[in-house]
């Protein structure tokens, strides 16, 4: 059984963590596979939206601690800091840099690395019995894959500090109330809800959606004056696109648009 599956249908790519017997914990080999799969989806012209999900009762219970405790894999046997660190081709950085929108279908709970992975997605649909567990400090580490960046921006400093410093576990109702997830649904409906949203996004002009995501990402570190300049530069090629013409024509003809992504 493969530890990860990848399918594409109707412009939607679905990446599924597939280690249900290990609650979809991430092995060192899976890190490289996940990175390559995310890059593949982002570069595929047929893909307009990506869904990231898991099989079984968990989305992802974090990194594979059994592998690490045996002296192998992530953190296994490490006693000295490496001389150099290159995180450019790791799932969190690749996920953040993706132009394609990514929906996390939280079929079950996410802990540690799994929580950071979920937070790195653009949209989260959560099962009503799932939880997010920021258990890093309870294991002697810190949120190593984006949590210290995402949570203060999503929740504000004080709430992020409370969750990270206590290693707190949040249930689905907590996550929805805090704005960490977009929607909470019955567990059996998570996949369908995520796919419905993915198809709604995929029906729009893909170049415009991807441009909007790029500008949102850039805006996190820009002044308003700088940002609007970048927005204008992004608009220029969109004005010349076939999709822009189709968007205007379909509006005038009162029909659904058929965007081609060019």
CATH match of 4-202 with 1.10.3470.10: no
Using the 8-state DSSP alphabet, how is residue 3 labeled?
Answer: S
Rg of the chain, C-alpha, whole Å: 19
pLDDT, tens only, 217-250: 999 999 999 999 999 999 999 999 999 999 999 9
Q: Which two tokens stand for residue 206?
A: 């893909």
Q: Where are the domains of the chain?
A: 4-202, 206-252
Q: Where are the alpha helices (DSSP H) in the chain?
A: 28-43, 65-69, 91-97, 113-119, 147-155, 157-166, 172-178, 190-202, 206-219, 224-239, 242-252
Q: Is the pLDDT of residue 132 over 60?
A: yes
Render pLDDT for 29-50 as a digit per residue (tens, 0 to 9).
899 999 999 999 999 999 999 9
Rounded Cα distance, 204 and 181, in Å: 22
| Contact present, 24 and 61 (Cβ < 8 Å) | yes
| 72 — pLDDT class (breaks 50, 70, 90) | low
CATH numeric code, 206-252: 1.10.12
Taking 80 as the threshold, does the pLDDT of residue 67 lie above it?
A: no
CA distance 79 to 59: 30
């Amino acid at each position: 059984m493969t530890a990860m599956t990848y399918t594409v249908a109707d412009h939607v790519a679905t990446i599924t963590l597939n280690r249900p017997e290990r609650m979809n914990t991430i092995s060192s080999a899976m890190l490289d596979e996940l990175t390559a799969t995310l890059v593949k989806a982002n570069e595929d012209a047929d893909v307009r939206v990506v869904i990231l999900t898991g099989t079984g009762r968990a989305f992802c219970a974090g990194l594979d601690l059994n592998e690490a405790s045996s002296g192998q894999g992530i953190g296994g046997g490490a006693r000295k800091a490496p001389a150099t660190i290159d995180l450019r081709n790791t799932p969190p950085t690749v996920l953040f840099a993706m132009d394609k929108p990514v929906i996390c279908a939280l079929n079950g709970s996410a802990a540690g690395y799994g929580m950071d992975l979920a937070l790195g997605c653009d949209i989260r649909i959560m099962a009503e019995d799932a939880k997010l567990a920021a258990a890093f400090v309870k294991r002697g580490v810190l949120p190593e894959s984006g949590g210290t960046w995402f949570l203060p921006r999503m929740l504000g400093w004080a709430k992020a500090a409370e969750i990270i410093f206590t290693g707190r576990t949040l249930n689905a109702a907590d996550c929805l109330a805090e704005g960490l997830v977009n929607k909470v649904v019955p567990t059996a409906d998570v996949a369908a809800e995520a796919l419905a949203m993915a198809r709604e996004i995929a029906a729009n002009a893909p170049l415009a959606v991807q441009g909007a995501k790029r500008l949102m990402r850039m805006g996190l570190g820009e002044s308003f004056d700088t940002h609007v300049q970048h927005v204008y530069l992004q608009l220029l090629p969109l004005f010349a696109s076939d999709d822009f013409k189709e968007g205007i024509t379909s509006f005038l003809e009162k029909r659904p648009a058929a965007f081609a992504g060019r």
